[in-house]
Structure formats: C-alpha cells, structure tokens
Amino acid sequence: MTSSSPATTETRPPSSVATRTPWWRGAVIYQVYPRSFADSNADGIGDLRGLSDRLEYIAGLGVDGLWICPFFPSPMRDFGYDVSDHRGVDPRFGSLADFDALLARAHALGLRVLIDQVWSHTALEHPWFAESRSSRDNEKADWYVWADAQEDGRPPNNWQSWMGGPAWTWDPRRRQYYLHNFLPEMPDLNFHCEAVQEAILAIARFWLDRGVDGFRLDTANLYFHDPQLRDNPPLPEPLRGESPVLMQRHLHNADQPQTLGFLRRLRSLMDGMGGGDGASQRMAVGEIGGFDGTQRMIEYTEGQDLLHTAYAFGFLGARPSAAQVKAQLDPWAPVSGWPSWAFSNHDSARVATRWGLGANASFAFGGASGEADGNAASPITWMALLLALRGSVFLYQGEELGLPQSKLRREDLQDPFGIAHWPLSEGRDGCRTPMPWRADAPNAGFSTALPWLPCDPAHRALAVDLQQSDPDSMLNATRALIALRRASPALRWGDLELVHAQGPALLIRRHWQAEEVWAAFNLSGQALDLPVVGSVPAQPRWTHGGAQRCDAALHLPPGAVWIA
C-alpha cells in the first residue's frame, strides 16, 4: 500500500535548533483513554499500570509524548471528566505511586507526559460543592455559579446544557439554581471568584511539582460566564442544529474576555516552573469548542503569555473537501499563535469511519458526523494529511491502527449522552472500546476479565500484533510518516502554503530555511491528475495508493498521497 525512496539514515534537526525550539512545537502527542487502553489487574478497566506496561509501544511509534485522559477520583458519571478530587488517583486506575512510576518510565523512554485538567466544573461530590451548597454565607458560597429563580420560578436565563436540557438545576438547600454546562451532577465553578482561581493554580502547581510536562485543558473557553446572566441569542436558521444547545450562539456562557487574564496567570506559573530552554519547557494545550473555535484558538495562543497551543473541533466532524481544509489552515498564516490538530478523540466518531470506510458515523461531539462515500480514502490518507499539517498533532489511541467506529447494542452503552439520546445518537462509546493488542487473545489482549465496554470483533483483524509484522499495515505506515515528520524541520516547524485546494485535490508546500516538502492528496474516490509547478521534486520520498509523477502532472488514484 505504501512505498518510499530507498532507505536512508534518519536525520534529525540540528541539536542547537532542537534545543532552542520548544519541544511541543510541531510535536506528535499520543492520546490515551486509560479506561480502554490496558488492564493490569483483571477488573475489566484499563489502569495506570497497564499503561506503564505499554509505554514501549507508544515510544516505538516515534511520538514525542502522550496525553492521558482523567484518572482522578470521580463518581464516573462522565467517566472521569467529573472530578471529585483534583490531586488524587481514582482507585480504579491505581495510586499516586503508580502515576509517579508511569511518569518516571515515560521520561526514561524520552516521552513527555501531559495530563487532562478539568477546571470548568467539578463533580457534585467534590468537597468544594458540598460546602458551597450548604448556605449562602459560607467560605465557599461563591465558588460555584449560583442564581435566583425568575419570579415565576423559571431558571435565570435560556442557557442550555451540552448534555441536554437547561444548564440550570434547582438546589433546595440554597433555594437557588446552579449552573452546569454539562450534566446536572457537574456544577460549574465560578472563575470570577479570586479564591477559585488561586485554588486552580494550586492544583496546577501540585502536578507540575510531580514532574508532568504539561496540561490538556478541558473546555478551556468555558471557565468564565457573563456575570449579568444575559440570554444567549439564537443562531441564524441555516446554522442551527437539532438540539436546543445547537440552536443558540453561546455568547454569554463561553468565550468571555476574562478568560485571557486567567490564562496569563497560568502561563506565568508554567513558565516559572519550566526550564530555560525549549527542551524542558512546560506547556498547556486548550480544548476550544463552539462555532468560533478557530478564532478563539488564535486569540488564546497569540503572543508569548497565553496558551502555548490550542485545538478546536474543525476536523472532528464530516469529511472536509480541499477547500474546507484550506479554510481551517488559512487563518493561521498571518498570526503568531500555534495550532494543534486532531482528526479523532474520545468524544468523536473515529476518523476511519467518518471520512472514508463507508459506514455512517452517527455521532461527533461538537460537530456534524457526516457519511462516508465508501471509497474515498483509506485511513493512511488521513494520517498522512494530519502529519503534513503545520502545528502540533494529537493522535487518538487506535488511530494508528485504522480502527473503525464500533457499533454497540443499546444495552451495552455507558455514555450518558448516548443513553439519553438513543437511538438518534449512539453517544461516544463507539470510539472508546478497548484497544486490540492481540488478535487471538481473550478480549483482544486488553483484559482477562469482561471489559467495561465490549471488544469490537471487527478490531481483531487490526490488532497490534498482526500489524507489527505487516510492512504494508496502517501501523507501519504511521511509524514511517511520524519518522518522516520528525526528521524534517520543514514538516515539524516550517511555514505552510496551500498551492492547490480545489475539489478533492490538495497540494501543500512546507518550507523551513533551505528545505522544502511537497505533499499532494486526493481526498476522493475518483482518480485525478494534478498539474504541478516545475519546482516540485520528481522523486518522491513517500507515496501511498499508487501516486505517480507523470511529466508535469501528478497522477493520483483514489485516496493517493505523494510526498517529496
């Protein structure tokens, strides 16, 4: 399926450049959903020791580090994104000693470690909320967003929850409503309260002191709300979704200007605890949701005192055309901020299904799902495109195997969103099924016990052990593409020019000092010929799908990739 130029010794950017340049800039980070990665104690749930046992596999991909989804104490209504103790480890995942051992092992293998930080809300069981709801005059009374009912008992405004229903729940103890942008059991913190900001920064300091290399900030644009609690305006009719939360513009419960002030405080803390060179810098990547995601990404990463990088949901929905890829990339050309890109994650249907294997992706959290045409491209096409982009890259576990989205029975669902919206939506469980390690092992090698979600039978043929030995596998193509990116300053750090972006044809030029890299993609199920300018090298470095240079044109069969 893939070919490359004759084998050569891998080259790396000059050490002096690598030292000066922050390690995360252009890095490839592997996202781990620990609950589904590897189970070490036979309880059917992945854990930190299981992850530690598989770190050599992650390092073997050639990535720069890993991002670990929440492993903190939690009632698990939203599977760790409802935190009840920000400084501990849930017993399901192990202990703080297990985390410290994992961190040390990762660092010994040359892997950076980012951990999720969920700061916009807590679990209902968090001690902070227990105190806050107990009265209107206790020490933490204003640590959460409380508001009186309207005269007729209605909630304070029209804000809607992303999990369905109003974003307000009545609490009889305080005789007030509290805000929750997600589940009612996940109340929102009040970042307008100075003590809350101090408490959150203390949590950041706790984990930085333990040696983590940075944070992935969950819902980073939801920290602040409009203190006047004004109604959100409706979206224009063509932009409205099918659920109430997608019918309004989130003008007043997201993207508030005060967010920038807090991010500056966080950046100052992290810079003060990092090393003096790029190799030892701590970093924070923000998740930015909403219709203005790209604009906010730029706003939140501009300059040297805000987020180091950010990603939005631009590539987590329906398969893009070349023009839509261009629309995501163009805004970054004139700015100093640094983007991050992901094609899959724990909240979206897997890219192999959404963009090219013919199955209907029924759910993409925060974006349209779309329907594949059945012959547009293989997952290798999308991996090559992702790794050719300017920015930092996040790979979701199993994406390197080309895993398709899993189809689960109603009775197997665990995700509260899927359970609430069945059958209109199947929720997020289909991208969270266990990692397939060995094709012929019970539960595909994930666990010797019944897993918390069923192992997908379709994933066995794509298991790690089978792909390791197949030179044409998705796994080995991913390794080759990561190695190519790692060896190329142009791919890792260089500028990006979209030379051609029409219909399904995309031609990208990356350049850094004297090095140029050209990458051509056919994003469709039909063969095409792409005229090329004379400066495009005649000899490719890596190809996929039968791409060929023919005189003044590139011949690109369906889903083909040509990199020179």
pLDDT reported for residue 263: 98
Predicted pLDDT at 17: 52
Taking each helix axis from N to C end, the angle separating 258-272 and 194-210, rounded to the nearest 10 degrees, works out to 30
Q: What pLDDT score was predicted for residue 376? A: 54
> Span 149-164, mean pLDDT?
96
- CA dihedral 401→407→409→411, nearest 10 degrees, is 50
- Which part of the chain is CATH 2.60.40.1180? 495-563
Q: How far apart are CA 430 and CA 413, in angstroms?
A: 9
Share of the chain above pLDDT 90, in %: 85
Question: 536 or 46, which is more confident?
Answer: 46
Q: List active site positions.
A: 218, 287
Tens of pLDDT, residue by residue over 117-137, are 999 999 999 999 999 999 999
User: What is the structure's pLDDT at 132?
Assistant: 98
pLDDT at 59: 98
Q: What is the pLDDT of residue 537?
A: 86
**Residue 371 scores a pLDDT above 70:** no
d(CA 437, CA 444): 6
Q: Write the CB contacts of 287 (distance below 8 Å, at least 6 apart in sequence).
A: 216, 217, 218, 219, 220, 310, 311, 312
pLDDT at 308: 97
Local confidence band at 562 (pLDDT 50, 70, 90 cut-offs): very high
Least confident of 342-346, 413-417, 517-521: 413-417
Output the pTM of the full model: 0.93
pLDDT tens digits for range 374-431:
445 789 999 999 999 999 999 999 999 999 999 999 999 999 888 888 888 889 999 9
Per DSSP, the three-state class of 123 is: coil
**Residue 517 to residue 60: CA distance in whole angstroms:** 24
Average pLDDT over residues 485-508: 96
Domain 26-123+192-483: give its CATH code.
Answer: 3.20.20.80
pLDDT tens digits for range 196-211: 999 999 999 999 999 9
Q: How confident is the model at residue 38 (pLDDT cuts 50, 70, 90)?
A: very high
**For the domain with range 495-563, which CATH number is right: 1.10.3720.10, 2.60.40.1180, 3.90.1720.10, 3.30.565.10?**
2.60.40.1180
Sheet holding 168-171, edge to edge: 146-147, 176-179, 168-171
Nearest to 525 by CA among 499, 497, 493, 559: 559
Backbone angles phi, psi at 204, to 5 degrees: -60, -45
pLDDT at residue 61 greater than cutoff 50: yes
Residues of the chain with CATH 3.20.20.80: 26-123+192-483
- Report which of 394, 401, 398 is spatially closest to residue 432, judged by C-alpha positions: 398
Tokens 């109003």, located at residue: 166
Q: How far apart are CA 332 and CA 339, in angstroms?
A: 8
Q: Quote the distance between the C-alpha of residue 467 and its chain's center.
A: 24
Quick one: pLDDT at residue 358? 36
Please compute the mean of the pLDDT values over residues 347-372 and round it to a whole number. Answer: 56
